Structure 1
Amino acid sequence: MDRTITSMLPAQRVIDDGDMLLWRALPLPQHNHLGPFVFIDHYRHQSQRGIGDKPHPHAGIEVLSYLLEGHVEHRDSMGITDRLGPGDAQCIRAGRGVIHAEQPQGGRHGLQLWTTLPPAQKLAKPTYTSWRAAAIPSFTRDGAEVTVLAGQVNDTSGPMQLASPTVLARIQINPGHSTTLQIDANAELGLYVMNGRVDAGGTVLDPGKLALLSHGDKLHIGATGSRRADLILLGGTPVPGPILFSGPFVMDTPERLAQARRDFTEGKMGTLDGVPF
Protein backbone atom coordinates (compact mmCIF):
# COMPACT_ATOMS: atom_id res chain seq x y z
CA MET A 1 0.00 0.00 0.00
CA ASP A 2 1.32 3.46 -0.93
CA ARG A 3 1.70 6.06 1.78
CA THR A 4 -0.04 9.40 1.35
CA ILE A 5 0.23 12.71 3.16
CA THR A 6 -2.40 13.08 5.88
CA SER A 7 -1.41 16.57 7.04
CA MET A 8 1.24 19.24 6.50
CA LEU A 9 2.70 21.29 9.33
CA PRO A 10 4.78 24.44 8.68
CA ALA A 11 7.96 24.58 10.74
CA GLN A 12 8.54 27.64 12.94
CA ARG A 13 11.26 30.08 11.86
CA VAL A 14 12.92 30.43 15.27
CA ILE A 15 16.01 32.39 14.16
CA ASP A 16 16.59 34.35 10.93
CA ASP A 17 19.12 37.12 11.50
CA GLY A 18 21.33 37.09 8.42
CA ASP A 19 23.84 34.68 9.95
CA MET A 20 21.69 31.84 11.23
CA LEU A 21 18.47 30.38 9.87
CA LEU A 22 16.83 27.86 12.19
CA TRP A 23 13.57 26.04 11.48
CA ARG A 24 11.84 24.05 14.25
CA ALA A 25 9.49 21.37 12.95
CA LEU A 26 8.82 19.75 16.36
CA PRO A 27 7.41 20.40 18.85
CA LEU A 28 4.62 22.51 17.38
CA PRO A 29 1.52 23.84 19.14
CA GLN A 30 -0.67 21.41 17.19
CA HIS A 31 1.67 18.39 17.30
CA ASN A 32 4.41 17.25 19.68
CA HIS A 33 5.79 13.97 18.34
CA LEU A 34 6.43 11.79 15.29
CA GLY A 35 7.09 8.22 16.35
CA PRO A 36 9.72 8.65 19.10
CA PHE A 37 10.86 12.06 17.74
CA VAL A 38 9.85 15.04 19.87
CA PHE A 39 12.24 17.71 18.54
CA ILE A 40 13.40 18.59 15.01
CA ASP A 41 15.72 21.55 14.43
CA HIS A 42 17.09 22.30 10.95
CA TYR A 43 19.79 24.99 10.92
CA ARG A 44 22.28 26.82 8.71
CA HIS A 45 24.78 29.42 9.88
CA GLN A 46 27.81 31.13 8.37
CA SER A 47 29.93 32.07 11.41
CA GLN A 48 31.34 30.03 14.31
CA ARG A 49 28.27 30.92 16.31
CA GLY A 50 26.44 27.87 17.60
CA ILE A 51 23.14 27.04 19.25
CA GLY A 52 24.45 24.61 21.87
CA ASP A 53 28.02 25.92 22.07
CA LYS A 54 27.67 26.74 25.79
CA PRO A 55 27.55 23.81 28.25
CA HIS A 56 23.94 22.74 28.84
CA PRO A 57 22.14 19.63 30.16
CA HIS A 58 19.79 17.02 28.72
CA ALA A 59 17.85 14.19 30.36
CA GLY A 60 15.19 11.67 29.34
CA ILE A 61 16.06 11.76 25.63
CA GLU A 62 18.44 10.67 22.91
CA VAL A 63 20.06 13.70 21.24
CA LEU A 64 20.82 12.97 17.57
CA SER A 65 23.02 15.28 15.50
CA TYR A 66 23.43 14.85 11.73
CA LEU A 67 25.96 17.25 10.25
CA LEU A 68 25.46 17.88 6.53
CA GLU A 69 28.11 20.59 6.08
CA GLY A 70 30.86 22.02 8.29
CA HIS A 71 32.71 20.80 11.37
CA VAL A 72 31.93 20.80 15.11
CA GLU A 73 33.72 19.79 18.30
CA HIS A 74 31.77 17.84 20.94
CA ARG A 75 32.57 17.80 24.69
CA ASP A 76 30.52 16.37 27.56
CA SER A 77 30.47 15.69 31.30
CA MET A 78 31.29 12.02 30.67
CA GLY A 79 34.77 13.19 29.64
CA ILE A 80 34.21 12.44 25.96
CA THR A 81 35.49 14.69 23.17
CA ASP A 82 34.84 14.17 19.47
CA ARG A 83 34.90 16.06 16.17
CA LEU A 84 32.23 15.68 13.50
CA GLY A 85 32.57 16.56 9.82
CA PRO A 86 30.25 16.54 6.79
CA GLY A 87 27.99 13.49 6.76
CA ASP A 88 28.89 12.41 10.32
CA ALA A 89 26.29 11.70 13.01
CA GLN A 90 26.18 11.24 16.78
CA CYS A 91 23.81 10.04 19.48
CA ILE A 92 23.90 11.08 23.12
CA ARG A 93 21.62 8.82 25.16
CA ALA A 94 21.16 11.33 27.95
CA GLY A 95 19.12 9.11 30.27
CA ARG A 96 19.33 10.43 33.83
CA GLY A 97 21.35 13.41 32.71
CA VAL A 98 24.46 14.69 30.93
CA ILE A 99 25.98 18.09 30.16
CA HIS A 100 27.47 18.76 26.73
CA ALA A 101 28.62 21.54 24.44
CA GLU A 102 29.22 21.64 20.69
CA GLN A 103 31.55 24.27 19.30
CA PRO A 104 31.27 24.92 15.54
CA GLN A 105 34.55 25.27 13.67
CA GLY A 106 32.88 27.53 11.10
CA GLY A 107 29.63 27.63 9.15
CA ARG A 108 27.38 24.58 9.42
CA HIS A 109 24.25 22.99 7.98
CA GLY A 110 22.61 20.17 9.86
CA LEU A 111 19.88 18.69 11.99
CA GLN A 112 19.47 18.23 15.72
CA LEU A 113 16.80 15.75 16.69
CA TRP A 114 15.53 14.40 20.02
CA THR A 115 13.85 11.05 20.57
CA THR A 116 12.10 10.53 23.89
CA LEU A 117 13.31 7.51 25.85
CA PRO A 118 10.85 4.81 26.95
CA PRO A 119 9.77 5.17 30.61
CA ALA A 120 11.99 2.26 31.70
CA GLN A 121 15.07 3.99 30.22
CA LYS A 122 14.44 7.57 31.34
CA LEU A 123 16.97 7.23 34.16
CA ALA A 124 19.52 5.06 32.32
CA LYS A 125 23.25 5.75 32.50
CA PRO A 126 24.26 8.24 29.75
CA THR A 127 26.16 6.95 26.70
CA TYR A 128 27.74 8.47 23.59
CA THR A 129 28.19 7.04 20.07
CA SER A 130 29.22 8.62 16.78
CA TRP A 131 29.41 7.45 13.17
CA ARG A 132 31.60 8.73 10.37
CA ALA A 133 30.00 9.39 6.99
CA ALA A 134 31.80 6.40 5.45
CA ALA A 135 30.11 4.08 7.97
CA ILE A 136 26.57 5.28 7.14
CA PRO A 137 25.22 3.25 4.20
CA SER A 138 23.51 4.72 1.15
CA PHE A 139 22.10 3.53 -2.16
CA THR A 140 21.04 5.11 -5.43
CA ARG A 141 17.88 4.36 -7.36
CA ASP A 142 15.96 6.16 -10.12
CA GLY A 143 17.93 9.40 -9.76
CA ALA A 144 17.66 9.38 -5.97
CA GLU A 145 20.36 8.90 -3.33
CA VAL A 146 19.16 7.54 0.03
CA THR A 147 21.36 7.58 3.14
CA VAL A 148 20.00 5.39 5.95
CA LEU A 149 21.00 6.30 9.50
CA ALA A 150 18.45 4.24 11.44
CA GLY A 151 15.89 1.58 10.57
CA GLN A 152 15.53 0.08 7.11
CA VAL A 153 14.71 1.53 3.69
CA ASN A 154 14.57 -0.97 0.83
CA ASP A 155 17.24 -3.53 1.79
CA THR A 156 19.55 -1.03 3.52
CA SER A 157 19.73 -0.77 7.31
CA GLY A 158 21.23 2.12 9.25
CA PRO A 159 23.85 1.76 11.99
CA MET A 160 22.02 3.71 14.72
CA GLN A 161 20.58 1.37 17.33
CA LEU A 162 18.20 3.57 19.29
CA ALA A 163 16.07 2.83 22.34
CA SER A 164 12.85 2.54 20.30
CA PRO A 165 12.32 1.24 16.73
CA THR A 166 13.30 4.30 14.68
CA VAL A 167 13.58 5.28 11.01
CA LEU A 168 15.90 8.12 9.96
CA ALA A 169 17.05 8.60 6.34
CA ARG A 170 18.16 11.42 4.08
CA ILE A 171 16.72 11.40 0.55
CA GLN A 172 18.20 13.47 -2.28
CA ILE A 173 16.41 13.39 -5.65
CA ASN A 174 17.56 14.89 -8.92
CA PRO A 175 15.16 17.30 -10.66
CA GLY A 176 12.50 15.55 -12.73
CA HIS A 177 13.15 12.14 -11.16
CA SER A 178 11.01 10.01 -8.88
CA THR A 179 11.42 6.74 -7.05
CA THR A 180 9.48 4.25 -4.91
CA LEU A 181 10.93 3.17 -1.58
CA GLN A 182 10.06 0.15 0.55
CA ILE A 183 9.57 1.14 4.19
CA ASP A 184 8.17 -0.23 7.45
CA ALA A 185 4.42 -0.54 6.91
CA ASN A 186 3.46 0.16 10.53
CA ALA A 187 5.92 2.86 11.58
CA GLU A 188 4.58 6.35 12.23
CA LEU A 189 6.53 8.31 9.60
CA GLY A 190 6.83 11.79 8.15
CA LEU A 191 8.89 13.88 5.75
CA TYR A 192 10.74 17.11 6.44
CA VAL A 193 11.86 19.05 3.34
CA MET A 194 15.19 20.90 3.61
CA ASN A 195 15.62 22.02 0.01
CA GLY A 196 13.78 21.86 -3.33
CA ARG A 197 10.18 20.88 -3.97
CA VAL A 198 8.94 17.35 -3.33
CA ASP A 199 5.96 15.48 -4.79
CA ALA A 200 4.82 12.78 -2.36
CA GLY A 201 1.79 10.84 -3.55
CA GLY A 202 0.50 13.79 -5.60
CA THR A 203 0.98 16.43 -2.88
CA VAL A 204 3.76 18.99 -3.34
CA LEU A 205 5.89 19.99 -0.34
CA ASP A 206 8.05 23.11 -0.06
CA PRO A 207 11.09 23.59 2.20
CA GLY A 208 10.29 24.04 5.88
CA LYS A 209 7.27 21.73 5.83
CA LEU A 210 6.75 18.60 7.93
CA ALA A 211 4.37 16.13 6.28
CA LEU A 212 2.74 13.33 8.27
CA LEU A 213 2.20 10.11 6.31
CA SER A 214 -0.47 7.43 6.32
CA HIS A 215 0.52 3.81 6.95
CA GLY A 216 1.79 1.66 4.09
CA ASP A 217 4.87 -0.20 2.93
CA LYS A 218 5.70 1.99 -0.11
CA LEU A 219 6.57 5.67 -0.53
CA HIS A 220 6.48 7.18 -4.02
CA ILE A 221 8.38 10.44 -4.08
CA GLY A 222 9.80 12.81 -6.70
CA ALA A 223 11.52 16.17 -7.22
CA THR A 224 9.63 18.90 -9.03
CA GLY A 225 11.09 22.14 -10.31
CA SER A 226 14.71 22.80 -11.26
CA ARG A 227 16.49 22.13 -7.94
CA ARG A 228 17.62 18.90 -6.36
CA ALA A 229 15.26 17.89 -3.57
CA ASP A 230 16.78 17.21 -0.16
CA LEU A 231 14.58 15.82 2.60
CA ILE A 232 14.49 13.66 5.70
CA LEU A 233 12.30 10.60 6.27
CA LEU A 234 11.85 10.01 9.99
CA GLY A 235 9.66 8.39 12.60
CA GLY A 236 9.18 4.98 14.15
CA THR A 237 7.22 3.49 17.02
CA PRO A 238 5.68 6.06 19.40
CA VAL A 239 6.95 5.83 22.98
CA PRO A 240 4.19 5.01 25.51
CA GLY A 241 3.30 7.46 28.24
CA PRO A 242 3.08 11.24 28.47
CA ILE A 243 5.65 13.55 26.84
CA LEU A 244 6.45 16.33 29.30
CA PHE A 245 8.93 19.09 28.41
CA SER A 246 10.91 21.30 30.74
CA GLY A 247 13.53 23.00 28.58
CA PRO A 248 16.21 20.40 27.76
CA PHE A 249 14.53 17.69 29.88
CA VAL A 250 11.77 15.40 28.55
CA MET A 251 10.16 13.02 31.03
CA ASP A 252 6.95 11.06 31.52
CA THR A 253 5.97 12.38 34.96
CA PRO A 254 6.15 15.77 36.71
CA GLU A 255 8.12 14.11 39.50
CA ARG A 256 10.84 12.98 37.09
CA LEU A 257 11.03 16.45 35.56
CA ALA A 258 11.49 17.96 39.02
CA GLN A 259 14.15 15.34 39.81
CA ALA A 260 16.06 16.16 36.60
CA ARG A 261 16.10 19.86 37.51
CA ARG A 262 17.37 19.03 41.03
CA ASP A 263 19.99 16.61 39.73
CA PHE A 264 21.34 19.28 37.38
CA THR A 265 21.54 22.04 39.96
CA GLU A 266 23.09 19.66 42.53
CA GLY A 267 25.81 18.60 40.09
CA LYS A 268 24.65 14.99 39.74
CA MET A 269 24.87 15.22 35.93
CA GLY A 270 28.54 16.08 36.25
CA THR A 271 30.22 19.35 35.33
CA LEU A 272 31.60 20.92 32.16
CA ASP A 273 33.56 24.18 32.30
CA GLY A 274 32.19 24.74 35.79
CA VAL A 275 28.54 24.26 34.82
CA PRO A 276 26.22 24.03 36.75
CA PHE A 277 28.21 25.81 39.46
Structure 2
Amino acid sequence: MAALPPLPYDEWEEAKLQLHLVAQIVGKVSLGLSHPWEHWWHVTFSVSPRGVRTGPMPYEGGFVKLELDLVDHVVVVTTNTGERRTLPLDVPLRDFYRELTSLLAELGVTVEIQPRAYKMDADDVFSESARDAYDREAVERYHQVLLFSADVLEEHGGRFGGKSSRVMLFWHSLDLSLVRYSGGGMISSGFWPGDKRVRMPAYSSYVWPVPAGLREQPVRPEAASWSSDPESALVLLPYDAVREADDPRGTLLEFLQSSYEAGARASGWDVEGLGASPPE
Protein backbone atom coordinates (compact mmCIF):
# COMPACT_ATOMS: atom_id res chain seq x y z
CA MET A 1 0.00 0.00 0.00
CA ALA A 2 1.21 3.50 -0.79
CA ALA A 3 2.14 5.73 2.13
CA LEU A 4 -0.79 7.61 3.62
CA PRO A 5 -0.80 11.30 2.63
CA PRO A 6 -0.62 14.23 5.05
CA LEU A 7 -3.94 15.99 5.65
CA PRO A 8 -3.24 19.02 7.89
CA TYR A 9 -6.53 20.70 8.69
CA ASP A 10 -5.20 24.26 8.66
CA GLU A 11 -3.89 23.88 5.10
CA TRP A 12 -7.19 22.83 3.55
CA GLU A 13 -9.75 24.27 5.95
CA GLU A 14 -11.52 26.36 3.31
CA ALA A 15 -11.32 23.60 0.68
CA LYS A 16 -12.70 21.10 3.17
CA LEU A 17 -15.56 23.46 3.93
CA GLN A 18 -16.31 23.79 0.21
CA LEU A 19 -16.33 20.00 -0.25
CA HIS A 20 -18.53 19.62 2.82
CA LEU A 21 -21.09 22.06 1.43
CA VAL A 22 -21.11 20.27 -1.92
CA ALA A 23 -21.64 16.98 -0.06
CA GLN A 24 -24.56 18.52 1.82
CA ILE A 25 -26.25 19.55 -1.42
CA VAL A 26 -25.98 16.01 -2.80
CA GLY A 27 -26.93 14.55 0.57
CA LYS A 28 -30.08 16.63 0.72
CA VAL A 29 -31.11 15.22 -2.66
CA SER A 30 -30.75 11.76 -1.11
CA LEU A 31 -32.76 12.91 1.90
CA GLY A 32 -35.56 14.01 -0.41
CA LEU A 33 -35.68 10.85 -2.51
CA SER A 34 -34.62 7.86 -0.40
CA HIS A 35 -36.90 5.59 1.62
CA PRO A 36 -36.49 6.29 5.37
CA TRP A 37 -34.45 3.91 7.52
CA GLU A 38 -33.63 3.97 11.22
CA HIS A 39 -30.64 6.00 12.37
CA TRP A 40 -30.77 8.03 9.11
CA TRP A 41 -28.91 5.26 7.31
CA HIS A 42 -30.89 5.95 4.13
CA VAL A 43 -29.18 9.29 3.51
CA THR A 44 -25.56 8.28 4.08
CA PHE A 45 -22.92 7.90 1.37
CA SER A 46 -20.74 4.87 0.71
CA VAL A 47 -17.06 5.25 -0.14
CA SER A 48 -16.15 4.18 -3.68
CA PRO A 49 -12.88 3.87 -5.60
CA ARG A 50 -13.68 7.21 -7.22
CA GLY A 51 -15.23 9.11 -4.32
CA VAL A 52 -18.48 8.85 -2.38
CA ARG A 53 -21.92 7.98 -3.67
CA THR A 54 -25.57 7.59 -2.85
CA GLY A 55 -27.44 4.38 -3.43
CA PRO A 56 -30.08 4.09 -6.18
CA MET A 57 -32.91 6.53 -5.38
CA PRO A 58 -36.43 6.25 -6.80
CA TYR A 59 -38.07 9.03 -8.77
CA GLU A 60 -41.06 9.11 -11.10
CA GLY A 61 -39.06 8.04 -14.15
CA GLY A 62 -37.05 5.24 -12.51
CA PHE A 63 -33.93 5.32 -10.35
CA VAL A 64 -31.11 7.84 -10.06
CA LYS A 65 -27.72 7.75 -8.35
CA LEU A 66 -25.29 10.58 -7.60
CA GLU A 67 -21.55 10.17 -7.08
CA LEU A 68 -19.03 12.77 -6.03
CA ASP A 69 -16.14 11.68 -8.23
CA LEU A 70 -13.07 12.92 -6.37
CA VAL A 71 -10.71 11.62 -9.07
CA ASP A 72 -12.10 13.62 -12.00
CA HIS A 73 -13.68 16.22 -9.68
CA VAL A 74 -17.19 16.03 -11.03
CA VAL A 75 -20.56 14.94 -9.75
CA VAL A 76 -21.85 12.05 -11.85
CA VAL A 77 -25.61 11.63 -12.21
CA THR A 78 -26.75 8.27 -13.64
CA THR A 79 -30.16 6.72 -14.14
CA ASN A 80 -31.42 3.24 -14.92
CA THR A 81 -32.66 4.55 -18.27
CA GLY A 82 -29.10 5.08 -19.49
CA GLU A 83 -28.61 8.75 -18.72
CA ARG A 84 -25.17 9.81 -17.52
CA ARG A 85 -24.41 13.47 -16.88
CA THR A 86 -21.52 15.23 -15.14
CA LEU A 87 -20.98 18.63 -13.57
CA PRO A 88 -17.68 20.09 -12.28
CA LEU A 89 -17.10 20.36 -8.54
CA ASP A 90 -14.49 23.12 -8.68
CA VAL A 91 -16.91 26.00 -9.33
CA PRO A 92 -18.53 28.57 -7.02
CA LEU A 93 -21.02 26.90 -4.71
CA ARG A 94 -24.03 28.75 -6.12
CA ASP A 95 -23.14 27.61 -9.64
CA PHE A 96 -22.87 23.98 -8.53
CA TYR A 97 -26.23 24.17 -6.75
CA ARG A 98 -28.04 25.83 -9.64
CA GLU A 99 -26.54 23.53 -12.27
CA LEU A 100 -27.29 20.37 -10.29
CA THR A 101 -30.89 21.32 -9.55
CA SER A 102 -31.37 22.29 -13.19
CA LEU A 103 -29.88 19.00 -14.39
CA LEU A 104 -32.09 16.95 -12.07
CA ALA A 105 -35.17 18.81 -13.27
CA GLU A 106 -34.13 18.18 -16.88
CA LEU A 107 -33.97 14.44 -16.11
CA GLY A 108 -37.40 14.54 -14.51
CA VAL A 109 -36.12 14.16 -10.95
CA THR A 110 -38.39 16.25 -8.73
CA VAL A 111 -36.97 16.91 -5.28
CA GLU A 112 -37.25 19.73 -2.77
CA ILE A 113 -34.39 20.48 -0.37
CA GLN A 114 -33.61 23.02 2.31
CA PRO A 115 -31.15 25.21 0.36
CA ARG A 116 -28.73 26.11 3.13
CA ALA A 117 -25.93 24.56 5.18
CA TYR A 118 -26.94 22.28 8.05
CA LYS A 119 -25.16 22.26 11.43
CA MET A 120 -21.64 23.07 10.27
CA ASP A 121 -18.99 25.80 10.39
CA ALA A 122 -20.82 27.82 7.73
CA ASP A 123 -24.33 29.12 7.19
CA ASP A 124 -24.27 29.45 3.42
CA VAL A 125 -27.43 29.74 1.35
CA PHE A 126 -26.52 27.45 -1.54
CA SER A 127 -28.08 29.52 -4.32
CA GLU A 128 -26.34 32.71 -3.16
CA SER A 129 -22.91 31.55 -1.96
CA ALA A 130 -19.91 32.75 -3.98
CA ARG A 131 -17.63 30.42 -1.98
CA ASP A 132 -15.05 29.00 -4.39
CA ALA A 133 -12.26 27.26 -2.49
CA TYR A 134 -12.21 23.77 -4.01
CA ASP A 135 -8.67 22.31 -4.01
CA ARG A 136 -8.20 19.26 -6.24
CA GLU A 137 -4.96 18.10 -4.69
CA ALA A 138 -6.26 18.33 -1.11
CA VAL A 139 -9.49 16.57 -2.06
CA GLU A 140 -7.54 13.74 -3.68
CA ARG A 141 -5.52 13.27 -0.50
CA TYR A 142 -8.72 13.22 1.54
CA HIS A 143 -10.15 10.58 -0.78
CA GLN A 144 -7.09 8.37 -0.26
CA VAL A 145 -7.54 8.65 3.51
CA LEU A 146 -11.24 7.79 3.15
CA LEU A 147 -10.45 4.67 1.12
CA PHE A 148 -7.91 3.45 3.66
CA SER A 149 -10.11 4.28 6.65
CA ALA A 150 -13.26 2.72 5.20
CA ASP A 151 -11.40 -0.49 4.36
CA VAL A 152 -9.97 -0.84 7.87
CA LEU A 153 -13.36 -0.07 9.41
CA GLU A 154 -14.90 -2.78 7.21
CA GLU A 155 -12.35 -5.28 8.50
CA HIS A 156 -13.03 -4.20 12.08
CA GLY A 157 -16.78 -4.45 11.49
CA GLY A 158 -16.47 -8.03 10.29
CA ARG A 159 -15.13 -9.07 13.67
CA PHE A 160 -18.47 -8.37 15.40
CA GLY A 161 -21.34 -10.86 15.58
CA GLY A 162 -24.08 -8.50 16.76
CA LYS A 163 -26.15 -5.83 15.05
CA SER A 164 -23.96 -3.38 13.17
CA SER A 165 -24.19 -0.71 10.51
CA ARG A 166 -22.10 -0.76 7.40
CA VAL A 167 -19.34 1.83 6.99
CA MET A 168 -21.11 5.08 6.08
CA LEU A 169 -20.24 8.71 5.45
CA PHE A 170 -22.70 11.05 7.14
CA TRP A 171 -22.79 14.15 4.95
CA HIS A 172 -24.13 16.50 7.62
CA SER A 173 -20.87 16.15 9.60
CA LEU A 174 -18.54 14.58 6.98
CA ASP A 175 -18.05 11.80 9.51
CA LEU A 176 -17.10 8.28 8.36
CA SER A 177 -18.74 5.90 10.79
CA LEU A 178 -19.31 2.28 11.81
CA VAL A 179 -21.78 1.62 14.64
CA ARG A 180 -22.19 -1.50 16.78
CA TYR A 181 -25.27 -2.17 18.92
CA SER A 182 -26.10 -4.35 21.90
CA GLY A 183 -29.24 -4.05 24.01
CA GLY A 184 -30.08 -0.36 24.09
CA GLY A 185 -26.49 0.80 23.70
CA MET A 186 -24.20 1.68 20.84
CA ILE A 187 -20.49 2.14 20.16
CA SER A 188 -19.55 4.26 17.17
CA SER A 189 -16.09 4.29 15.59
CA GLY A 190 -14.95 6.40 12.70
CA PHE A 191 -12.88 9.11 11.07
CA TRP A 192 -13.42 12.79 10.44
CA PRO A 193 -11.14 15.38 8.82
CA GLY A 194 -11.36 17.96 11.60
CA ASP A 195 -13.40 21.07 12.31
CA LYS A 196 -13.06 24.39 14.14
CA ARG A 197 -13.24 22.64 17.53
CA VAL A 198 -10.84 19.77 16.83
CA ARG A 199 -8.42 21.19 14.30
CA MET A 200 -6.91 17.94 13.12
CA PRO A 201 -8.05 14.80 11.31
CA ALA A 202 -8.64 12.01 13.81
CA TYR A 203 -10.09 8.59 14.42
CA SER A 204 -12.67 8.39 17.16
CA SER A 205 -14.86 6.15 19.24
CA TYR A 206 -17.71 6.99 21.56
CA VAL A 207 -20.29 5.11 23.62
CA TRP A 208 -23.97 5.80 24.26
CA PRO A 209 -25.31 5.78 26.89
CA VAL A 210 -22.18 6.70 28.81
CA PRO A 211 -21.40 3.91 31.29
CA ALA A 212 -19.83 4.46 34.70
CA GLY A 213 -16.08 3.90 34.76
CA LEU A 214 -15.67 4.25 30.99
CA ARG A 215 -12.77 6.69 31.11
CA GLU A 216 -10.88 4.42 33.48
CA GLN A 217 -10.65 1.80 30.75
CA PRO A 218 -7.31 1.58 28.93
CA VAL A 219 -7.14 2.37 25.21
CA ARG A 220 -4.33 1.74 22.74
CA PRO A 221 -2.04 2.78 21.13
CA GLU A 222 -0.24 5.25 23.38
CA ALA A 223 -1.26 8.22 21.20
CA ALA A 224 -4.97 7.55 21.88
CA SER A 225 -6.59 9.62 24.61
CA TRP A 226 -9.97 10.42 26.12
CA SER A 227 -11.52 13.82 25.40
CA SER A 228 -10.47 16.64 27.72
CA ASP A 229 -14.13 16.96 28.74
CA PRO A 230 -14.40 14.79 31.89
CA GLU A 231 -18.03 13.94 31.07
CA SER A 232 -17.29 12.90 27.50
CA ALA A 233 -17.39 9.33 26.18
CA LEU A 234 -15.16 10.25 23.23
CA VAL A 235 -11.69 8.82 22.68
CA LEU A 236 -9.45 10.14 19.89
CA LEU A 237 -6.46 8.95 17.93
CA PRO A 238 -4.80 11.60 15.72
CA TYR A 239 -4.66 10.61 12.07
CA ASP A 240 -0.95 11.46 12.01
CA ALA A 241 -0.29 8.81 14.67
CA VAL A 242 -1.65 6.24 12.21
CA ARG A 243 -0.02 7.78 9.14
CA GLU A 244 3.43 7.87 10.74
CA ALA A 245 3.26 4.40 12.31
CA ASP A 246 5.39 1.54 10.99
CA ASP A 247 2.15 -0.41 10.51
CA PRO A 248 -0.70 2.08 9.90
CA ARG A 249 -3.33 -0.60 9.37
CA GLY A 250 -2.35 -2.55 12.46
CA THR A 251 -2.20 0.65 14.52
CA LEU A 252 -5.70 1.67 13.49
CA LEU A 253 -7.11 -1.82 14.07
CA GLU A 254 -5.55 -1.81 17.54
CA PHE A 255 -7.25 1.50 18.33
CA LEU A 256 -10.62 0.38 17.00
CA GLN A 257 -10.54 -2.89 18.95
CA SER A 258 -9.24 -1.45 22.22
CA SER A 259 -11.71 1.47 22.20
CA TYR A 260 -14.56 -0.93 21.39
CA GLU A 261 -13.52 -3.23 24.23
CA ALA A 262 -13.30 -0.27 26.61
CA GLY A 263 -16.85 0.77 25.83
CA ALA A 264 -18.26 -2.74 25.66
CA ARG A 265 -16.80 -3.91 28.97
CA ALA A 266 -17.83 -0.73 30.80
CA SER A 267 -21.34 -1.14 29.34
CA GLY A 268 -21.59 -4.80 30.35
CA TRP A 269 -21.68 -6.23 26.84
CA ASP A 270 -20.79 -9.88 26.27
CA VAL A 271 -17.53 -9.11 24.49
CA GLU A 272 -16.54 -12.72 23.89
CA GLY A 273 -20.03 -13.80 22.86
CA LEU A 274 -20.36 -10.97 20.35
CA GLY A 275 -17.22 -11.94 18.47
CA ALA A 276 -17.94 -12.95 14.87
CA SER A 277 -17.35 -16.45 13.55
CA PRO A 278 -15.86 -16.68 10.05
CA PRO A 279 -18.36 -17.82 7.36
CA GLU A 280 -18.17 -21.50 6.39
Considering Cα pairs closer than 8 Å and 6+ residues apart, tell me whether 1 or 2 has the greater RCO: 1
Q: Does the alignment reach a TM-score above 0.5?
A: no
| TM-score for the superposition, normalised by structure 2 | 0.24
Q: Which has the higher helix share?
A: 2
Q: Which has the higher strand share?
A: 1
Which structure would you say has the larger Rg? 2
